[in-house]
Amino acid sequence: KHLEIDSPYNTYRYRGLPPGPINNPGRKSILAALYPAKTGYMYFVASGDGGHLFSRTASEHARHKARFEQVRRMVRMKNRKR
């Protein structure tokens, strides 16, 4: 069905990026980029459940990253059993 639409924006039909923007940020996103919250966080990594883990230090980030890798291994093993 998606292959029937002949448009340069149809990434099912044409490789690579489309010729123009595919999305626009909302007002809140623009304001957050212009005026970021002062948190002290320097790193972030996926939590494995759809969220993110934020860290202030490299060692804290390494722990969070190891936790994510463990979750990812468990998900891969679970998916192999299917």
Where are the domains positioned within the chain?
2-80
Q: Answer yes or no: is pLDDT of 61 > 90.
A: yes
Q: Per this entry, what is the length of the chain?
A: 82
Q: DSSP string of 31-76?
A: HHHHS-------EEEE-SSS-EEEESSHHHHHHHHHHHHHHHHHHH
> What is the pLDDT, as a whole number, of residue 64?
97
In the chain, % of residues over pLDDT 70: 100
Q: Region 55-61: what's the mean pLDDT?
A: 98
> What is the pLDDT, as a whole number, of residue 59?
98
Q: Answer yes or no: is pLDDT of 46 > 90.
A: yes
> What is the pLDDT, as a whole number, of residue 22?
84
> What is the pLDDT, as a whole number, of residue 31?
98
